[in-house]
Chains A and B, each alone.
Chain A
């Protein structure tokens, strides 16, 4: 229970259905850290005392036992540190997926089972179904396409899916709010959280700098050259971690045609820019592949592949490779295939699987 409308409504719904439920909030990040990032009136910061207050209020209204559990260590090791390292390595990480894989559906599931719970229900927008024919749990897109979170859930294993409930997966967000009002959920009107929970105002570079300073680590000097695809130096930049593939704004150069970041290379500290056409790629490899609705296929399969959260999945052929890797071949080249982001393979409603873009 985050204190938000989604997880609160899940609790109210399950309570109405008569389940014996226990509320839990994960304390993931200590808000007293990195005080220089504190912004007056900033919203959407995870684990704030206000959010815990709201979650406890909802639990009290429902009359269910409620606990705050401290996973700060795990969150730092499995989410924040990799997030920082990925950025410094010139990739654009997705902490939410790491959090799902290694905290919410790992340590949290274990905690839930340890205290006697049979299932964990969350407010995620996705659906889970069991396929008798293949004896596999399937992950399906949410009914509300705009809220669908399967892009962040591709890492869930069969065992994790078997113990998880997503009661909102078949609902649309406006209906969730209506239901929240109908069930007298106290936070029914609370606004949705945005952005990455531990990064205030979405300012990754400021977070990185503050975090490294707190850790007593020198922020690596990653100043370097901004070059064209042809190798011509256009300008100097203040650090590769300020750039992400596909970025257009903030390049600090004026040019006749719009320029985009094509690649960042922390080894040479070069940021390569080029035209929109230079951003297009037809194929790429993914690692740490997890197959969900189907077992790892022997032959290449047809799929629609999504390469970032807001990307419209594009037709492709996905072939499994040795060592949990796969090759994705788009029918039509796609813009801004970004290392560090996930590629998720869909077949209609089903999530076939996914992996990290190399």
Chain B
């Protein structure tokens, strides 16, 4: 069966140019970039070229890019690193209820260490209000962490504006840019953002690599100990191959997916009754739509679509792999029932209008079948 992939916010297939860069790196950049000899120097040169490409994607200086093992480590390093480096006895952190677990769990760890936390609630569209944000900043606030774009709904926060507010209050500002990088223009140098996380595997490069932008002058307590790599902020021999992959991914030409996404969203909403796009009134990532189908178990719809060859997703997978209602949708004020009826479609390289049209058809048929069996669904006209 031909398979069509519409889950690019979960991970992405490897782009051909990235594959070529990886193969080349395996042959040419296998040495230790910290070595004195010329083999090491070659690896170092290729590593730094990759770092420059990553910096160019982010609009920052190469020396502000710290390579990590992925987005989760970048988020953890930013949050734990900044707060643990602050010697004050009383410390406070502001974040939001719609962050990725990599941020939420790092914050929960800080709470266990005695740090005060404030979790901002979004509005119905998933947006964080700037005035509410401003009012939560305290003299003891060390760090604010607000994601650039949400992985589930695609809702985009005005992080430049929030970072400017934080800077006025003397607060460092971190943003999880894992979903935004490559999909939205990012120019960190011209903002007040202090730290920004990205992940390679959301950008058509392999898993196992990410990067954290750390603005010059920001001090981080490292999480790993055992080497002076990455300017003593991340010990361990650099994964040169994966950094090169991320560098190549940073340079890829990426089509604007807005038209294709709108074709999908409007197509589904036109074909399927009682379907609603979540967070549709917020500024959104051009590749993401999150649609709620009244009376449907999203879990069943994801499985039905998978068995027909379409990869889509719902909520967050728990440890066993089953689905729990999305904390993001719940925070936006959706009922657990509504959250359990919502599906995320995320587009990327390789998707075509023809695939989108087939997906619309498959969704319409699957929803009709599931609703016929649903004991709770009866068509409601608004």
For A113, what are the chain B residues with a Cβ–Cβ distance below 8 Å? 373
Which of A22, A47, A116 has most chain B Cβ within 10 Å?
A116
Please give, as numbers and ranges, the residues of chain A lying within 8 Å of B308 by CB-CB distance: 116
Taking a contact as CB atoms under 8 Å apart, the answer to whether B322 and A69 are in contact is yes
Type the 1/0 row for A15-36, where 1 means its CB is closer than 8 Å to any CB of B.
0000000100101000000000
CA–CA, A115 to B306, complex, Å?
A: 9
| B297 CB–A CB distance under 8 Å | yes
For the complex of A and B, the 9 pairs showing the least CB-CB separation, nearest first, are A27-B322, A70-B322, A68-B322, A68-B321, A52-B320, A115-B304, A114-B370, A114-B300, A115-B303
Interface mask (B319-339 → A, CB under 8 Å = 1, otherwise 0)? 111111000000000000000
Within 8 A of A (CB), among B115-164: none
Q: A27-B320, A68-B320 are in contact. List 18 more A-B contacts (CB 8 A).
A: A22-B303, A49-B319, A56-B321, A65-B306, A68-B321, A69-B322, A70-B318, A70-B323, A70-B324, A110-B375, A111-B297, A111-B300, A111-B303, A114-B300, A114-B370, A115-B303, A116-B307, A116-B308
Query: B320–A116 contact, CB under 8 A?
Result: no
A22 close to B307 (CB less than 8 A) = yes
Q: Is the interface of A mostly helix, strand, loop or mixed?
A: mixed
For residue A67, CB closer than 8 A to chain B, the reply is: yes
Q: Which residues of B contact A (CB under 8 A)?
A: 297, 299-300, 303-304, 306-308, 318-324, 369-370, 373-375
Q: How far is the CB of B329 from chain A (nearest CB, A)?
A: 15
Task: Decide: B307 and A49 in contact? CB cutoff 8 A.
Answer: no
Q: Are B320 and A49 in contact (CB under 8 A)?
A: yes
> Shortest CB–CB separation between residue A50 and chain B, in angstroms?
10
Q: How far is the CB of B345 from chain A (nearest CB, A)?
A: 18
Chain A residues closer than 8 Å to B324, beta-carbon distance? 70
Q: Bound complex: CA of A111 vs CA of B322, how far in Å?
A: 14
Alpha-carbon gap, A115 to B369, bound state (A): 8
A110 to B374, CA, bound (A): 8
Listed by A's residue number, 22 A-B pairs whose Cβ atoms lie within 8 Å are: A25-B320, A25-B322, A27-B320, A47-B320, A49-B319, A49-B320, A56-B321, A67-B306, A69-B299, A69-B300, A69-B303, A69-B322, A70-B323, A70-B324, A110-B374, A111-B299, A111-B303, A113-B373, A114-B304, A114-B370, A115-B300, A116-B307
A22 to B321, CA, bound (A): 16
In the complex, what distance in Å separates the CA atom of A69 from the CA atom of B300?
A: 8
Complex Cα distance A56/B321, Å?
10
Q: How far is the CB of A71 from chain B (nearest CB, A)?
A: 9
Instruction: Please report which residues of chain A, range 21-80, place their CB below 8 angstroms from some CB of chain B when the two chains form the complex.
Output: 22, 25, 27, 47, 49, 52, 56, 65, 67-70
On chain A, the residues within 8 Å of B323 by CB distance are 69-70
Minimum distance in angstroms from A279 CB to a CB of chain B = 42
Q: Is the CB of A115 within 8 A of B307?
A: yes
Given the complex of chains A and B, what is the CA–CA distance between A232 and B180 in angstroms?
Answer: 77
A10 smallest CB distance to B (angstroms): 19
Task: Write the A85-117 contact mask toward B (1 if CB under 8 angstroms, else 0).
Answer: 000000000000000000000000011011110
Assuming the contacts A111-B300, A114-B370, A115-B300, asked whether A65 and B320 have C-beta atoms less than 8 A apart, the reply is no
CA distance A110 to B323 in the complex (A): 17
Of B303, B319, B320, B373, which contacts A110 at CB under 8 A? B373
A102 to chain B, nearest CB (A): 12
Task: For the complex, give the distance between the alpha carbons of A42 and B321 in Å.
Answer: 22
Q: Smallest CB-CB separation from B370: which chain A residue?
A: A114
A267 to chain B, nearest CB (A): 35
Q: Contact flags (1/0) for A113-148 with B, using CB distance below 8 Å?
A: 111100000000000000000000000000000000
Indicate the member of B307, B320, B369, B375 with the most A CB atoms within 10 Å.
Answer: B320
Least CB distance from A222 to B in Å reads 33
> Are A67 and B320 CB-contacts (below 8 A) given A110-B373, A113-B373, A114-B373?
no
Give the distance in Å from the alpha carbon of A47 to the alpha carbon of B322 in the complex.
Answer: 11
Chain A min CB distance to B143 (Å):
29
Q: For B303, what are the chain A residues with a Cβ–Cβ distance below 8 Å? A: 22, 67, 69, 111, 115
Identity of the chain B residue whose Cβ is nearest the Cβ of A65 in the assembled complex:
B307
Q: Roughly how many angstroms separate A25 CA and B303 CA in the complex, as a whole number?
A: 13
Q: Quote the shortest CB–CB distance from B208 to chain A (angstroms).
A: 22
CB distance from A234 to the nearest CB of B (A): 48
Whether B321 pairs with A52 at a CB distance below 8 angstroms is yes
Task: Give the one of A47, A49, A65, A115 with max B CB within 10 A.
Answer: A115
Complex Cα–Cα for A114 and B320 (A): 22
Residue of A nearest to B337 (CB): A73
Q: How far is the CB of B62 from chain A (nearest CB, A)?
A: 42
Name the residue on A nearest B324 (C-beta). Answer: A70
Neighbouring B residues of A110 by C-beta, 8 Å: 373-375
Inside 8 A of B320's CB, which chain A residues have their CB? 25, 27, 47, 49, 52, 68
Report the bound CA distance from A35 to B297 in whole Å. Answer: 29
- Taking A69-B299, A110-B373, A111-B297 as contacts, is the C-beta distance between A116 and B322 under 8 angstroms? no
Contact of B369 with A114 in the complex, beta carbons under 8 Å: yes
Query: Can you name the residue of chain A whose Cβ is closest to the Cβ of B304?
Result: A115
CA gap between A110 and B297 in the complex, in Å: 11
Please, which residues of chain B bring their CB within 8 A of the CB of A111? Answer: 297, 299-300, 303
A68 to B323, CA, bound (A): 8
